[in-house]
Amino acid sequence: MTPTRRSVLAGLIGTGAVVSASGLALVLQPSLLVKPQGALLVLDAQQYSILAAIAGRICPGGDGFPSASEIDVAGRVDALLDRLPAGTAAEITGLLGAFESPIVGLLLDGRARTFSTCAPDEQDGVLAQWRDSRLPQRRTAFLALQHLCSGAYWTHPAVLRAMGYTGPSPGRAVPT
Amino acid sequence: MTGSIQSAATLSADLDTDCDVCVIGSGAGGATVAAGLAERGLSVVILEEGGHRTRADFKGNEGDNVPMLYQERGARATADLAVSILQGRTVGGGTTVNWTTCFRTPDRIFAHWADRYGMPYSAAAFEPHFAAIEERLNIAPWQEERVNANNRVLLDGARRLGMEASILRRNVRGCADSGQCGTGCPYDAKQSMLVTYVQDAVGAGARLFANARAERIEVANGRAVAVHAVAMEDHRDRATARRLVIRPRVVVAAGGAINSPALLLRSGLTEGPVGLRTMLHPVVAITGDYPQPIEGWAGAPQSVASHAHIDRGPDRVGYFLETAPIQPMLAATAMPVFGTAQRDRMRTLGHVASLIAVCADGLTPEETGGRVSLRTDGRIRVDYPIAPALVEAWRDAHRTLARLHFAAGATRAASMHLEPVLMNSEADLPLLDAAPYGALRHAVFSAHQLGGCVFGREAETSVVDPDLRHWHVGNLFVVDGSVFPTGLGVNPSESIYAFAHRAREAIAAAV
Of B446, B469, B492, which residue constitutes the final position of a domain? Answer: B446
pLDDT of residue A170: 63
Residue of A nearest to B385 (CA): A2
Residue B236: which of A82, A150, A168 has the nearest Cβ? Answer: A82
Residue A172: which of B61, B176, B236 has the nearest Cβ? Answer: B176
**CATH classification of the domain holding B94:** 3.50.50.60
Residue of B nearest to A151 (CA): B329
What ipTM was predicted for this assembly?
0.93
pTM: 0.95
| Residue ranges of B 418-457 with Cβ closer than 8 A to chain A | 418-419, 439-440
Give the three-class secondary structure for B337. Answer: coil
- Best A83, A99, A126, A133 member to test B by mutation, with max B CBs in 10 Å, is A83
Query: Is B92 within the bounds of a domain?
Result: yes
Query: Is A74 within the bounds of a domain?
Result: yes
| Residue ranges of B 75-94 with Cβ closer than 8 A to chain A | 75, 79-82, 84
CB contact under 8 A, B81 and A65: no
Chain A nearest CA to B505, separation (Å): 32
The answer to whether residues B167 and B147 touch, using CB atoms and an 8 Å cutoff, is: yes
Q: How far apart are CA B155 and CA B68, in angstroms?
A: 33
- Residues of B within 8 A of A173 (CB-CB) are 174, 176
Strands B207-210 and B4-7 turn out to be parallel
- Residues of A within 8 A of B81 (CB-CB) are 5, 140, 143-144, 147
Residues B363 and B376 reside in one and the same domain: yes
Query: Is A26 within the bounds of a domain?
Result: no
Burial B188-199 (b: 16+ CB within 10 A, else e): bbbbbbbbbbbe
Query: Is A15 within the bounds of a domain?
Result: no
B339 to chain A, any CB pair closer than 8 A? The answer is: yes
B382 pairs with which residues across the strands?
B372
The answer to whether residues A144 and B143 touch, using CB atoms and an 8 Å cutoff, is: no
- Domain of residue A81 covers 34-160
Query: Is A1 within the bounds of a domain?
Result: no
Query: Is B80 within the bounds of a domain?
Result: no
The DSSP code sequence of B399-415 is HHHHHHHHHTT-SEEEE
| Residue ranges of B 97-126 with Cβ closer than 8 A to chain A | none
CB contact under 8 A, A6 and B343: no
Chain B nearest CA to A44, separation (Å): 19
Q: How far apart are CA B251 and CA B501, in angstroms?
A: 16
pLDDT of residue A173: 53
Of B402, B428, B446, which residue constitutes the final position of a domain? Answer: B446
Helix (H) or strand (E) holding B84: strand B84-85
pLDDT tens readout for residues B176-208: 999 999 999 999 999 999 999 999 999 999 999
CB contact under 8 A, B328 and A144: no
**Phi/psi of residue B148, each to 5°?**
-75, 175
- Best B368, B437, B440, B442 member to test A by mutation, with max A CBs in 10 Å, is B440
Residues B418 and B478 reside in one and the same domain: no
The answer to whether residues B360 and B281 touch, using CB atoms and an 8 Å cutoff, is: yes
CB contact under 8 A, B61 and A155: yes
Helix (H) or strand (E) holding B156: helix B149-161
Amino acid letter, residue B44? V
Residue A175: which of B67, B174, B236 has the nearest Cβ? Answer: B174
Query: Is B505 within the bounds of a domain?
Result: yes
User: Burial level of A113, CB count in 10 A (0-12/13-18/19+)?
Assistant: middle
pLDDT of residue A28: 61
Higher pLDDT, B280 or B61: B280
Query: Is A90 within the bounds of a domain?
Result: yes
Q: How far apart are CA A116 and CA A56, in angstroms?
A: 10
Residue B176: which of A143, A155, A171 has the nearest Cβ? Answer: A171
Give the three-class secondary structure for B380. Answer: strand
Query: Is A141 within the bounds of a domain?
Result: yes
Query: Is B78 within the bounds of a domain?
Result: no
Query: Is A16 within the bounds of a domain?
Result: no
Residues B327 and B367 reside in one and the same domain: yes
Residue B79: which of A5, A124, A171 has the nearest Cβ? Answer: A5
CB contact under 8 A, A80 and B379: no
CB contact under 8 A, A61 and B343: yes
Q: How far apart are CA B25 and CA B217, in angstroms?
A: 14
Give the pLDDT band of residue A174 (cuts 50, 70, 90).
low
- Does residue B291 carry a pLDDT above 70? yes
CB contact under 8 A, A150 and B180: no
**Phi/psi of residue A153, each to 5°?**
-75, -50
Chain A nearest CA to B256, separation (Å): 20
Give the three-class secondary structure for B20. Answer: strand
Number of domains in chain A: 1
| 3-class SS letters over B104-142 | CCCHHHHHHHHHHHCCCCCHHHHHHHHHHHHHHCCEEEC
pLDDT of residue A29: 73
Q: How far apart are CA B38 and CA B508, in angstroms?
A: 10
Give the pLDDT band of residue A2 (cuts 50, 70, 90).
very low
pLDDT tens readout for residues A20-57: 444 455 556 788 899 999 999 999 999 999 999 999 99
- Residues of A within 8 A of B189 (CB-CB) are 176
- Residues of B within 8 A of A140 (CB-CB) are 80-82, 440
User: DSSP secondary-structure letter at A66?
Assistant: P
- Residues of B within 8 A of A134 (CB-CB) are none
Mean pLDDT value across chain B: 97
CB contact under 8 A, A84 and B237: yes
- Does residue A16 carry a pLDDT above 80? no
The answer to whether residues B489 and B106 touch, using CB atoms and an 8 Å cutoff, is: yes
- How many A/B residue pairs have CB atoms within 8 Å? 164
Give the three-class secondary structure for A57. Answer: helix
Query: Is B77 within the bounds of a domain?
Result: no
Mean pLDDT for B388-416 is: 98
CB neighbours of residue A108 within 10 Å: 18
Strands B15-24 and B239-253 turn out to be parallel
pLDDT of residue A20: 43
- Domain of residue B308 covers 142-172+282-446
CB contact under 8 A, B61 and A132: no
User: DSSP secondary-structure letter at B242?
Assistant: E
Residues B255 and B302 reside in one and the same domain: no
Residues B364 and B400 reside in one and the same domain: yes
**Phi/psi of residue B481, each to 5°?**
-65, -10
Mean pLDDT for B329-340 is: 94
pLDDT of residue A171: 60
Residue A80: which of B73, B82, B383 has the nearest Cβ? Answer: B73
Chain B nearest CA to A161, separation (Å): 10
Residues B147 and B115 reside in one and the same domain: no
Residue A139: which of B67, B84, B418 has the nearest Cβ? Answer: B418
Residues B372 and B415 reside in one and the same domain: yes
Residues B272 and B296 reside in one and the same domain: no
Give the pLDDT band of residue B139 (cuts 50, 70, 90).
very high
Q: How far is CA B91 from CA B64, B199, B377, B412, in A?
A: 16, 11, 26, 41
CB contact under 8 A, A59 and B81: no
pLDDT of residue A166: 79
Q: How far is CA B228 from CA B71, B117, B279, in A?
A: 20, 33, 28
CA dihedral in degrees (B374, B81, B402, A130; nearest 10)? -160
Query: Is A140 within the bounds of a domain?
Result: yes
Mean pLDDT value across chain A: 85
Residue of A nearest to B383 (CA): A2
With CA atoms as reference, report the closest residue to B175 among B147, B209, B203, B135: B147
- Residues of A within 8 A of B83 (CB-CB) are none
Q: Which of A4-18, A68-82, B47-61, B423-437 has the lowest mean pLDDT?
A: A4-18
Number of domains in chain B: 2
pLDDT of residue B336: 87
pLDDT of residue B208: 98
**In chain B, helix, strand, coil percent, each to 5?**
30, 25, 45
pLDDT of residue A17: 45
CA dihedral in degrees (B239, B245, B251, B253; nearest 10)? 0
Residues B265 and B236 reside in one and the same domain: yes
- Does residue A103 carry a pLDDT above 50? yes
- Does residue B228 carry a pLDDT above 50? yes
- Residues of B within 8 A of A126 (CB-CB) are none
Residue B325 CB partners (closer than 8 Å, separation 6+)? B99, B150, B179, B181, B182, B296, B297, B301, B302, B354
Residues B96 and B124 reside in one and the same domain: yes
Higher pLDDT, A21 or B323: B323
Residues B406 and B346 reside in one and the same domain: yes
The answer to whether residues A83 and B236 touch, using CB atoms and an 8 Å cutoff, is: yes
pLDDT of residue A27: 59
| Residue ranges of B 161-180 with Cβ closer than 8 A to chain A | 172-180
Residues B92 and B165 reside in one and the same domain: no
CB contact under 8 A, B236 and A83: yes
